[in-house]
Amino acid sequence: MKDVRKIVLILAAAVLLLPWFPEQAQAQYKQPQVGPSRPLAGVQYNNRWEFYGGMAYAHLTAGPQLTQGSNLGGFDADVSRFFTQRWALQGSVRGYYGTSGAAPNPYGIRGPFVNEYLFVAGPEYRGPSNEHVSTTLHAMFGGAWGRFESALYDQHDNKVPPQSVGFYPNQVAFSGVLGGTVDLNRSPKLAFRISPDAILTDYSSSYISGSRLKADFGISVGLVYRMGRGQVK
């Protein structure tokens, strides 16, 4: 019993004296504070190369007299070589695929398949940009390969002239792409891109005279990858 009394007295004394212990003796564990993460702090726009690939949409009028256009889906693949942080040379290869409305005809042709390829290049200028967003403008020119006749066959599998359904013939023509991009950065090297454009084409026809230059809307979305960091100023 004496030992028990001694233990009780010692514990009671410890409780009474606890408030007098140094503050350090009572300190509790505190979770270390970590500063906010900034994964985009390294974005500097001093890369030499940008590679882009994405899904694309374009509106196309497959013939000079058609009132019903076609909505085409496809791809957009670009590469940009920056010589300064502002100026670059950009090249683009694009493909669009879908069906088009046709002029009334006795062949039973309704909504035939058409496709178009663009091969263009030109200057690119980087506009207002920060660590989160980058904007550019571009003006590219080159050629368009329009394939309008691949599905023009009647019920007996005979070839139908394109003018019979209001179409252009297959051809390579002048093309231009005027527009820009908005890049939403995910890291110093990777970004999500939105690229709206006006697509110019000048397809010719033997049965329609006058100006043939047309402007259609196109847009693509995809990913940008930057390489050659620290190579331009």
Lowest mean pLDDT among 31-40, 75-84, 99-108, 181-190: 31-40
Specify the pLDDT at position 3.
43
Exposure class string for 171-205: b at 16+ Cβ within 10 A, else e: eebebbbebbbebebeebeebebebebebbbebeb
Q: What is the mean pLDDT of residues 144-166?
A: 94
Which domains does the chain possess?
A: 45-227 (2.40.160.20)
Who has greater pLDDT, 37 or 202? 202
- pTM of whole model > 0.85? no
Who has greater pLDDT, 64 or 199? 199
Who has greater pLDDT, 26 or 136? 136
Q: Using 50, 70 and 90 to split pLDDT, how confident is the model at 26?
A: very low
Specify the pLDDT at position 30.
59
Computed over every residue of the chain, the mean pLDDT equals 85
Specify the pLDDT at position 68.
82
Specify the pLDDT at position 8.
43
Specify the pLDDT at position 37.
61
Q: What is the mean pLDDT of residues 2-15?
A: 45
Q: Using 50, 70 and 90 to split pLDDT, how confident is the model at 213?
A: confident
Q: Are 52 and 81 in contact (CB under 8 A)?
A: no
Specify the pLDDT at position 210.
58
Who has greater pLDDT, 62 or 11? 62
